[in-house]
Amino acid sequence: MSTFNKYIWETHGVHAGTENDHVKHGVDELEAVIEKAISLHHPSISFIIHTPRLTNFRYDTERDTDIKFIRGNSAYLNYPKRIKQLQAVYADRINIKYGIELEWMGNEIGLQWNRSQLIQAEEVDFVVGSVHFSREGIPYDGSKEEAQRLLQLRGSLEAYWLGYLDEVIEMIECSGDMFQVVGHLDLPKLNVPVPKDILQFENAASPLADKMRWLLELISIHNLALDVNLAGLKKGCGIYPAENILRRAKQLHISIAIGTDAHHIDHYAYAYQEGMQYVLECGYKQYVSFSKLIPETRTIFNNHQLKLKYSLLNKAIELLNQRMPPEKRRVIPELAFGNAFHEFLDIYPNATRLGAYNAIRIRKEDKSITFGNEIPQPENLQLEGLFSKHLDRPGVLSMLFNTLASERINIETAFLKSNNDGTATHQ
Ligand SMILES: [Zn+2]
Ligand SMILES: [Zn+2]
């Protein structure tokens, strides 16, 4: 029986605070939470920040303020710089990732606004697209009173949820290329009951069930990941999204990202084990995290061999992506797995076999890369290629490949062997 990892590479992780803003939100003391992660021996920590909102999208608690840009406009502008400083300070101790939570506010000025917010968010690792507000400007995740107000306005529970699902669908159709992950998919359950047609949407015949099914298909078509958001546990409505939604997502080969959506240092790393148990029960054994918008696949299990294989797969995808123009980086590559990587054949249903060869091959269009974890030793082995001995550090191999590529030398196959003394040989 496999045990779970102690750590999750979060996506929707710790919310960076609004600092000096009028409305407090998130964790201001980023250093404190980083130190906590280091003390827990975590390899990485992930921050996220909300994009500032347009004036007519406000929570009741924000109505009294007369500031124009709600929630941390200056904190938002500062955020990439602040994270970069922290990355420099903690470079040798922990890997700091960061992203933004893009606030959907309709497809007119809201969409223009979001585009400008994205431009300001330099070099983020991921973008989560979330609907928190109805088009009427009333939040789904505010107070119970706010939810009741919207319920009255829309006239029924069905209309309430239909409106929400329409907004999520609109967000994906209009801006699915602007984010990688759909945030807390069944957020309204925080404040209102879930209708029967959503609890059993798989088989129900109703506009609500149809819409839920279509939404999941749309997520799959756009190659977006689902945010498995553990904050719902703390709030008493259960993890987002509900089990039946996640099971259907698995059938549609939708990948998941996991996160605590923590707004307080005490909530850092909350319920990691429950999170992994939950996704496993829904059929998932792996999840993704993001680095510079590219998904990296990870196992939920504490299995050293499997983790090594995943890191090889991620490295191969990253190296191939570096040779692709940015717009092609999110295209799912064709994968082929040989002998030692056979478990990936179950995980990636469209992958092909590489036979007895212990290697992974990744292909996009006319570019491919083959990665193995051992040097083949057939009789009279004749290897043609380059040989290098270098520091065994992340990034060194990419540097070598890029330098060679700039000289128009294409590496089809690379053998990398760690010497266990801080160096690696590479052939
Ligand atoms: Zn959110
Ligand atoms: Zn959030």
**Which pLDDT does position 265 carry in this prediction?**
94
Q: Which pTM was predicted?
A: 0.85
Find the 27 Cα to ligand 2 centroid distance in Å. Answer: 12
| CA–CA distance, 328 with 333 (Å, rounded to integer) | 10
Q: Cis peptide before 193, with omega less than 30 degrees from 0? A: no
- With beta carbons less than 8 A apart as the criterion, state whether 344 and 309 touch: yes
Q: Give me the mean pLDDT over the 384-397 stretch.
A: 71
Would you state the pLDDT for residue 68? 57
- What tens digit of pLDDT does each residue of 116-157 get? 899 888 789 999 999 999 999 999 999 999 999 999 999 999
Q: In angstroms, what is the span from residue 179 Cα to ligand 2's centroid? A: 14
Q: pLDDT tens for residues 218-246?
A: 999 999 999 999 999 999 999 999 999 99
User: Could you tell me the pLDDT band of residue 379, with boundaries at 50, 70 and 90?
Assistant: low
Ligand 1 centre to CA of 115 (Å) is: 18
Distance between Cα 38 and ligand 1 center (Å):
26
Q: Which CATH class is domain 14-299?
A: alpha beta
| Range picked from 26-30, 85-89, 393-397 for highest mean pLDDT | 85-89
pLDDT by residue (tens digit) across 401-418?
777 777 777 776 666 677
Domain ranges (residues) in the chain:
14-299, 304-426
Q: Which ligand is nearest to the CA of 142?
A: 1
Distance in angstroms (rounded) separating the CA atoms of residues 17 and 5: 28
Calculate the alpha carbon distances from 312 to 253, 297, 373, 374 in Å.
22, 10, 8, 12
What average pLDDT does the structure give for the chain?
Answer: 88
Centre of ligand 2 from the C-alpha of residue 81, in Å: 20
